[in-house]
Structure 1
Amino acid sequence: MYLTRFRINTARVGARRLLSSSQRLHAAVMSSFVEAAPRHEEGGPRVLWRIDRNAKPEVILYVVSPDRPDLTHLVEQAGWPTTGTWQTYDYADFLSRLTAGDTWAFRLTANPVHNIRRTADEPRKRTAHLTPRYQAQWLLKRQKEAGFRVLEKPKEQRRLAEGDEHQLIIHGRDPRSFGKTEEATGRKNHVSLVAVTFDGRLEITDADAMRRTLTSGLGKAKAYGCGLMTLAPVG
């Protein structure tokens, strides 16, 4: 597994075009590999990517992948062709050292959704969670199976009697909408999703499950920049 970091030059027209469409960015990321990515097994390693907008001039593309990518085309289209490059790190060694009980800061961009229906005979429809309260609940419901628990705040640091128990910040709500053509049928569909970013602190409870989460993603819309969690040292 590999973790790749690429800084996007937002002054370039090609960069702005890519950033305006999750589908274009997905295609650009997948074009970084010599061999077409095989269909992934459920829960197995796959190509994941995420855009971090740390500040207006600093936009970073992160990619986690089973194979080492070549981002030459992105440097030419959306980077600094004469001075810019990308950094790719061997992720396997980091993953192998994860241990239950370790604490980390984390960032996750995800697509929190649930299935609803208005009547008993109506088919269920996938709908986005739109409020921070339910977005947080979406993540907390998945933490055990994903191999971690979000750390709680000391009681004296909680500003609210309810809903402020965890070391978790939700921000960067990003509605995305684009057209998609089905490969098998050629049918054109309209895709709409809402991506949000979670920042917080966690404790690893199951190292194997945590490794699966980091390499296979969490939640839906993984092809469109959702599901990638990264860890950083606390403090």
Structure 2
Amino acid sequence: MKDEPVIARIRLNPHSRDVQRDLRDATEMHRTVMRMVPDGLGDSPRSQAGLLYRLDETDNSSTLLVQANHLDPARLPAGYGKADIKSLTPMFTALRKGLAVRYRIVLNPSKRERLTLEARGKRGRILPLSGADADQWWLRRAADAGLQIHVLTPTNMPPIRPRRQDSDGMRHSLIRYDGTATVADPGALHDAVRTGIGRGKPYGAGLLSLAPAPAA
């Protein structure tokens, strides 16, 4: 049985030049968080490490959440921020059918363009979803992940356009969802938390956070 992942909550230092660079460029942020996982993970190191991350910003601070099978915050740039790490095992152990939870997730709701018969054999473009279409996308994905959503509050996030020279320039539209839900399938939810949901994982999407919902 694999070890359960851990999560690091990093309070970013706004005066760090490395932080300022990463907040401007999602590709650089991805490179920085990948420094925290072990080397030598092969051709798909992010997937092998189980790495997911999300940036939570308020008017006064920025907090970076990083989840992976193993994390070493000492490998972050000097002065990057203060990191606290905890195991997700207690959260996974507490999951049971019918448990009321609060959730937060940043997603890249999207679908593949349908092509005409004349274009058979080709793959359509990935199209971003917004508004009610995005909300329905999240409701379907949540159900597949073992969550019965009760409340969803969408917040449009700044879009991400990777700046790598070899990038296709695709714009990743991000939406944050906050709300309440009930656990319908603990096993499916466990897997969804471990592996993330949807596209855009290298750019801060897909990390699902859960916490017990306050008693009514």
The 5 Å alignment of 1:111-126 reads 111-117=108-114, 119-122=116-119, 123-126=123-126
2:154 corresponds to? 170
What corresponds to 1:57 in structure 2?
A: 60
Partner of 2:69: 66
Residue 189 (structure 1) aligned with residue 168 (structure 2): yes
Alignment of 1:131-210 (within 5 A): 131=131, 133-151=132-150, 167-180=151-164, 187-210=166-189
2:90 maps to what in 1? 93
How far did 1:41 drift?
Answer: 11
- The alpha-carbon distance between structure 1 residues 40 and 150, as it changes in their structure 2 partners (threshold 3 A), is farther
1:215 and 2:214 matched: no
TM-aligned CA distance change 1:73 to 1:41, over 3 Å: closer
Q: CA deviation at 1:191?
A: 3.3
Q: Residue type matched to 1:100 in 2?
A: K
1:198-221 alpha-carbon deviations (Å, 9 max, x no partner): 001111111010001111000001
The structure 1 segments of at least 4 consecutive aligned residues displaced by more than 6 Å after TM superposition are none
Query: Root-mean-square deviation (CA), in Å?
Result: 2.2
Q: Would you tell me which structure has more strand in proportion to its own residues? A: 1
| Alpha-carbon distance in 2 for matches of 1:196, 1:149 | 19
* Structure 2 residues not aligned, in runs of 5+: none
Instruction: State the identity %.
Output: 22
Tell me how many residue pairs correspond in the alignment. Answer: 206
TM-score after normalising by structure 2? 0.86
Partners of 1:103 and 1:37 in 2: CA distance: 37
